[in-house]
Structure 1
Amino acid sequence: MASRDERSVYVTNFNSDVTEDLLKELFIQVGPVDSVFVKRNEAGGRDFALIAFADPESVLFAVETLDEIRLFNIPLSVKPKMGTEQEKVYRRNQEDLRGSRPN
């Protein structure tokens, strides 16, 4: 089984109305979810969540499907966890998309 990091997405840009249960309900739409962890930053920093899927294939599908989806009228940011193979694949895909656009 792939490591938890390889099966995780990093989620930011959500307000205090967003709960672990709500995120689980949203992310289960793209794949089986093992765990949801929400870190609230009371000191004025950004809240974030880590969603761990049962399999790594769900990570890029979650990014493609749920990045910028509006939750309480705020677009979520959904990215692969930094430093993972999933993030490398995501960045390569982004570069390929930029390179294929006509000037």
Structure 2
Amino acid sequence: MVAREERSVYVTNLNSEVTEDLLKELFIQVGPVESVFLKKNEGGGSGFALIAFEDAESVLFAVETLDEVRLYNTALCVKPKGGSEQEKTYRRQQDEQRHRRVSHLP
């Protein structure tokens, strides 16, 4: 089985009303979820979560599908877990998209 790091996304900008159950229901729409870890800020500010999928393929699909989705009027920030091969692939794709946009400028 692929290491958990390669099957996980890091979610930030979470409203204090967001629960582990809600995150699981949302992320199961893009792939089978193995676990959800939610850390809320004590002062009521935005928290973060780590979502581990059962397969690595769900990671980039989750980022493409759920990044900037609004929960409780707050846009989620969904990225591959730092240091993973998935994160490197994501960053490479982002760089390629930026390059294509810039190369089409007059």
Under a length normalisation based on structure 2, what TM-score does the superposition of the two structures give?
0.93
Report the counterpart of residue 58 of structure 2 in structure 1.
58
Which shows bigger deviation, 44-53 or 29-38? 44-53
In structure 1, distance between residues paired with 2:43 and 2:73: 23
Report the counterpart of residue 24 of structure 2 in structure 1.
24
Report the counterpart of residue 33 of structure 1 in structure 2.
33
Q: What is the aligned-residue RMSD (CA, Å)? A: 1.2
1:16, distance to aligned residue in structure 2 (A): 1.1
Deviations 1:43-82 (A, max 9, x none): 5774110000000000000000000001111100000000
Structure 1 runs not aligned, ≥5 long: none
Runs of 4 or more consecutive aligned structure 1 residues displaced over 2 Å after TM superposition: 43-46
Report the counterpart of residue 6 of structure 2 in structure 1.
6
Under a length normalisation based on structure 1, what TM-score does the superposition of the two structures give?
0.95
Structure 2 runs not aligned, ≥5 long: none
Determine what percentage of the aligned residue pairs are the same residue: 72
Of the two, which has the highest radius of gyration?
Answer: 2
